[in-house]
Structure 1
Amino acid sequence: MREGGGRVQQGRRDSRFGRLLRHGFTDPATAERLLDLPALSAVRGDPMLLDALGATADPDLALRQLVRLVESLSDHERPGGDPAGGPQELLGTLIGAKPLRDRLLRVLGASEALGDHLVRHPLDWHDLATYESADLHPGVEEFTRCLDDAHDADTLRAAYRRCLLSIAARDVCGTIDLAAAATELADLATATLRAALRIAGDAAPEDTARCRLAVIAMGKCGGHELNYVSDVDVIFVAEPVAEPVDGTEEAEAMRAATRLASHLMRLCSDTTAEGTIWPVDANLRPEGRNGPLVRTLSSHLAYYERWAKTWEFQALLKARPVAGDEALGRAYADAVAPLVWQAAERENFVADVQQMRRRVVENIPAAQIDRELKLGPGGLRDVEFAVQLLQLVHGRADAGLRSGSTLDALAALAAGGYVGRKDAAALDEAYRFLRSMEHRIQLYKLRRTHLVPEGEADLRRIARSLATAYRWDRGEDPVTRLRKEWRRHAREVRRLHEKLFYRPLLDAVAQLEPGAVRLSPKAAGQRLEALGYADPAAALRHLEALASGVTRKAAIQRTLLPVLLEWFADSADPDAGLLNFRKVSDALGTTPWYLRLLRDEGAAAENLARVLSGGRLAPDLLMRAPEAVALLGDPGGLRPRDRAHLEQEVLAAVGRAEGPEQAVAAARGVRRREMFRTAAADLISTYGTEETPAEEDFGPRVDRVGTALSDLTAATVSGALRAAVRAGFGDTLPTRFAVIGMGRFGGAELGYASDADVLFVHEPREGVDEQQAARAAFAVANEMRRLLELPSADPPLLVDADLRPEGKTGPLVRTLTSYAAYYRRWSQVWESQALLRARPVAGDPGLGRRFVELIDPLRYPEGGLDEAAAREIRRLKARMESERMPRGTDPTTHAKLGRGGLSDVEWTVQLLQLRHAHAEPSLRTTGTREALFAARDAGLLDPHDARTLDEAWLLATRMRNAVMLVRGRPGDTFPADVRERAAVGRYLGYELGSAGEMLDDYRRVTRRARTVVERLFYDAES
């Protein structure tokens, strides 16, 4: 029997041991021992006790501290001299009152420090038993009443901890959320500062009689978002009670106020037998720790107006009077508030705030940066700095943003359209989670720390504490879930911090004049006129249409428009920029991503402003495909796509089309978007450069445009070729077919208005009759040209085949053999010159290579060019200049045929190629600049001459591109219209009003180039 009873008893022990493990105990043996202590006999049989302990952050800690509390109550004598009946009362209440059981045990399981307090003051457990739902949100008044009996440092600490108990209980039980807990902690701090000032005043009534002292809370206390343990940042401001007569009264008052302030700080900060409350930190005062602890209001204002740094105004954003003289505190707050909301107008304000945040991160020890919950990347400071920067920039005009609370300010920023709803929600969620982690870490020992602990037990306690609040799956390891959630929120915070904190729009808004952020209609009209808008009344109508109303779209527009108006004003035609912006906004107004893109993504808003006010071509392209706005927000969106990707996309679109017309429309759609991409990148790159046109190397930009447009044209021609073949012959044409690019197309130097000069060549497939092949090739070439010349609102793409043998009178398409026969018998020198720029651009690549092999001996003749041929080239050029120059045109400003223009430079370079390319392989290129530099490097051209010719060619090319971008139609001369000419000047890098300087520079550059051309091209001995 004894043996059987032992087995039963052992079975019961095993059963309880297993239950303890299932309830989260990590040391079940010790837990069993504690549960068997006589002190817990009254609750040992309660089946709910283990459940309640298992719901705590640390069941082992909760049980240990419960035993300590019960034992402390046993040693305590209740008021009136009765023996301590406390243990029975407590344990009886634990059995009968689930709310108390949950509150008490969860506090004991989350905070060792509060458990220590209860052991020292065991009767304080009653404070957890008495509050009901109606008393869940005490404020400053309630906390002040709780602290009324405090008369020295120890009694103040004890009373403070008693209040802290109730806050912690509501927090860990989930009765209040993070924001409410932080607010209550700030209210308790306010009441504590008031009690400390009262105690200090009672100890020195003569000092109280001499001065009026106000305590201004800063930082988290000022923002109603305090931690469990945090420095309470304050600023002290004081005034004499009596009106100063000779300065003595003020000096005495400042000394008295300093003694009171110092005593207040000691009462809160010093460590006594009851521990400490929190440090009171006055280092945010003027001059920091080197400045006087207390100043008069006028002294504060004098400092802020003359000496304060940017970060000091950022700190004042949360300033709030909390203790002492109420009128003086309000006067201080009223006086500094305007300074806070003017801070964004300081020079380099945004950059200063950004640099300050970077310095904080740089100063974190490397070993701690991954554990730093507050200061590290993705930490709380990232949220706070981003929110505060947005507040300070936009709060100048929007008083609804002027909150000291991070979460309230974030909500206001989202409501006002300054931050996207999803971004704000993600930041709110992350901030609450990270602050909750911080609270749980600090609550354990009531120590000021922001480092996530490394120990498994500490992480487990934190994770279990959060698991209830966030309703994590009970089957999941809480530590694993904690790490995953922490890292997820930190990544999201860092991403959004980078997005919001370094938003280019912020700096632009900050640089606006104060009155430009929000204007009345009358003031707006005057400002528009001052900015250079020719029709302020029309501009006001556009603004009204865009920004009126209470919709979120209108709110975001009101944020964007003050900056956009400034950027439009930097162009030659601000009115056109604003009108175009309204058109794009009307077209995309219901698209959710459009305004969000302009507000949030990189330099999208400024890029759009530059594009819309830079001329007609890019806006016209955008109106036809407004979704292309998205390219302006993508960091890589303005980089041109290479030919292989373009051709792949075009051919895929053509393959999906139902007929040839639809196929070419699809190819045109790609061309439209890609031409916009190129034009947008080109326009955007023209702004903000400090170099003059003569000093900046524009070569890479011009080359990029020429290559991008040439690749795009080649892809479009390939698409038209595929469409033409499919329309008449299905998948296989009975003859191989290739398109050879000529002129600027062959040289990959197309401009926005250039035609596509081509030759068509074919070669019958094996077994195909030559006449059948010729008919097929002719049909395809004609269909290609027809399709590409169909009426369209897009910029035209004219395929010109007039450089073929016999010109317009010759066959449109020839076989390779026919070309060989013609060139062998009939070729003229101008054709050899034209073939210098021939390269395959579409169709059969093998046939294209064989065509190049055929013409190489012709364009790179062995022995060079004889003098008779050189004279013929000179004659042809002179004839072209005299016959093709439009009547009445100024020859000094015609980009193509004028003095020192494109024709001068290109013919000079081509003459060098014809003479020397056979012996100098580096000259065998279709590109003008590449051949020019090859001639220089080969010693055939003086470097100074090469530089002079290159400068003129680049300037003439850019001028032609500018005219097309500005006017939306081609032109080889500067526009006569004043605004159009000014817009061309802005593209070329000149400030508004510098049209005369632009023309002088153009004539000077091209005159120098003409001098070189006359020496190298026209000199018979050269």
Structure 2
Amino acid sequence: MALLGSYPSRLVDSLNERWQQLLEHVDNPDVLQSAASKTSLFYTQLMKTWAGSDFAADVFISYPNYAAYFLQLFNRGQQMAVPTGFHHQSVKNLLADVHSESELIKKLRVYRNREMVRIIWRDLNRLATTQQTTTDLSALADACIQHALDWLYGDMTPGLGTPYSGNNADPEPQQMVILGMGKLGANELNLSSDIDLIFTFPNQGETAGGRKSLTNQEFFTRLGQRLIKVLDCRTAEGFVFRVDMRLRPYGSSGALVMSFAAMEQYYQDQGRDWERYAMIKARAVAGDTARGNELLAQLKPFVYRRYIDFSAITSLRDMKHLIEREVKRKGMENNIKLGPGGIREIEFIAQSFQLIHGGRDPVLRQRALLTILPALAKQAYMPETATDQLKDAYLFLRNVEHAIQAVQDQQTQELPKETEARTRLALVMDCASWDAFMAQLNKHRRIVSQHFADVVGLPESPASSQKKTQHFRSLWMAELDDAEEINVLQAQGFSDPDQSLRLLSALRDGRVLSRVRRQSRERVDRFMPLLLEVAAASDHPDTALNRLLPLVEAVLRRTAYLVLLMENPAALEHLCKLCVSSPWIADLIARNPALLDEFLNLGNLYSPPKKDALADELRQQLAHIPEDDLEAQMEALRYFKMSHVLRVTAAHVVGKLPLMKESDYLTWIAEAVLEQVVAIAWRNLTERHGRPQTEGGGVCGLGFIIIGYGKLGGIELGPGSDLDLVFVHNGVDHQTTDGARPVDSNVFYARLGQRIIHILTTQTLSGALYEVDMRLRPSGASGLLVNSFRAYEKYQHNDAWTWEHQALVRARVVAGDSALAEAFTELRASVLRKVRDPETLRKDVTGMRQKMQGHSGSKGKQGQINLKQDKGGIIDIEFLMQYAVLRYSPDYPELVRWTDNIRISEQLEAAKILSHEEAHVLRQAYQQYRLIVHKLALQNEKPLISHESIKDYSTAVKQLWKKWLEN
């Protein structure tokens, strides 16, 4: 039974003395002595527990027969663990025969002390992870709260009656709801934590069935008071848990218990930023937890704002400053929770991201810090190396915290000052000495402090710009006369200071700004000098100001967006740069300020992900949204599309993405969206009607495809392109679906198409997802929205016009059933390879081209050409490619392989239908035209350009047109 050699001699003597005391008081000392001598590991672990916890040793001496319980647990070989649900069942059984409150109080404490020793044993001997320890403690607290509440409720109702909801024809019995806050709410309870609770109940009303009637408010207040006493009061056996009620509405001065309606009203009208921070971890821990979850769902908008909320970081920073002042005032620098680089800083880092981004990113709406940290890395909010360092520091600090608290079962986070206590702490932490322990601790603290400064610290403001900012502050605050204001703008590079000042004055002195809240006005006043400074530093200050002011006006009631830009000067600079480069981008962001979130990671802003990564990202975003929440799904789809379109166009504008890659990415975005829209619509329909059936009564697969035509089919989407779509299914006629509300298969697929159109085109808060054009379906606008594959095949072979076969050249499946997609590919090839009369084909193609020219608009000035519509332009090239595929594919089958014009021209060149020179100039012309059109679109301009600037290209296109179609 030799002790570990690293134990100090005074500690060894103390442990031996306690061991002898235990042997003197235990019922069967020989059994314990024998087990300890035969199983040295049990004795070693017991001594390690006592070495780290006087509380544990005292419990053993006070309850010597606990030794048999722990020996039995040890011999099970499960590292002293208990199964899930153990505490609830054990406490329930323990209280089954309790008949008085005093007995309830005693039994709960005796049970709590025993289980605390077991948990300390596991923790100090590293038989449990930190998460297992805190989960075990939280489960113990949940069980004690729940069953004490049940006993007290049952004790009160015979005399006072059962609370019922009022104001309805069918009153329902009411239960209290207990919200666990802080570490209890997150299942992160410490070895000696207080438990932060909030008491609430669903509805006002009064009790019935007792000797005396009370209002529900009075009943639950009495119940809450008794529960606090049962859990918190100190007796000879100690306490169960210290209870802290200060997080309730209005704090210590507020009512002990509030109804749901009062809770919702309070948080809506008076909830403060620190209460949002606290509510992140809120969990219904006891009572009517189902109703409690409903309340927390109602309070979600208070905690997580719909938009990015960078103002949260200011609140966290203010809270941290208050804590720092308190730490210095009380000399708490050695507090591992509140001191520099402590646990609270790690929590602030994680929760700053939760409060800022949680409204839009459901992944961040989790309670436990050790779950949030890897999510921050996975969602690219922080580098993985940073979150790994924070996790390691957090685990180390929590282990230190547990070791400190285990000594006397006291809530403290202060490092010990006495030499012996320091030696014991180092021993428990498996460090060779106090100095070695402090070296590890300080390393973690330094890392945490650095990450905290990076995330929550004050933004840097270069000294060189302070003078300039002061000039702009005086201008914005109307501290200058008119001439001085003009001079400031002129001196800072504004070429039209009069117009720029008019724009500023319209905002500064306008009615909208005068009506915003005081906090919003203060934010605008802090932001505008920075905006003017950034605009002045740009290449075109007047343009920058003109394009950024609409964004400011758009967020006057959501000025947290301005805080984001103030906190991230680089984001503001890049925003200015992009808005100067493209009014299209400026308009997009002004209409959807949530896109400012994309500027927090400038590396991602200019680096759009690949196709598979895009699809995977969207799947993951939607996976965190309940399947029955169509509104949230539609908003997520819209944000995904807008954010990635912004990233693609931003990369293109700054020259980091060539035209062809831009179109690829924009097409991939649409495909990823359409794939998920089909999945959502299919799930909605099948939940209601079941799935279509085969002729034999079996269940069909998806059996549905979306065919992309035009720019989508040709992989040539631009930033604002609409989608030309056709829907096809292969359902069985006269068969119904297999659900509770069966419908005919044709009806099912028609509704599927309607649901897809609804998801794509409905105007939500973020606008429509895409504009959709369905006129290329068989029989056009008068035809069925969704056609069966057989009908579509018949139409293409027998009834389609030549122009519809031209359109088919650029058609491909972009979402849906893979087997049906293969069938379409084969059908398309067979239709395009049909032998056609050359003269008839020529007349049909030229006739359609003339018809289109007759309907084309956007005529330019003298000497200008419309790059899309005019002769020698984009449509002529598209028609030439389509004509060639229809004319020559019977002899050259490979011509139908591709849907984009560039690769079609390459196939025509390979087949010698186009000479190398013709193919080369055609490709150059097409790419140059599209590049110009994209650039003009990003400037919100029509596709009009000087004919002289593209004369060589248009001449070459006209020559080929004449050669093929006018001979």
**TM-score category by the smaller chain?**
0.3 to 0.5
Q: Larger Cα Rg: Structure 1 or Structure 2?
A: 1
TM-score, normalised to structure 1's length?
0.45
TM-score, normalised to structure 2's length?
0.47
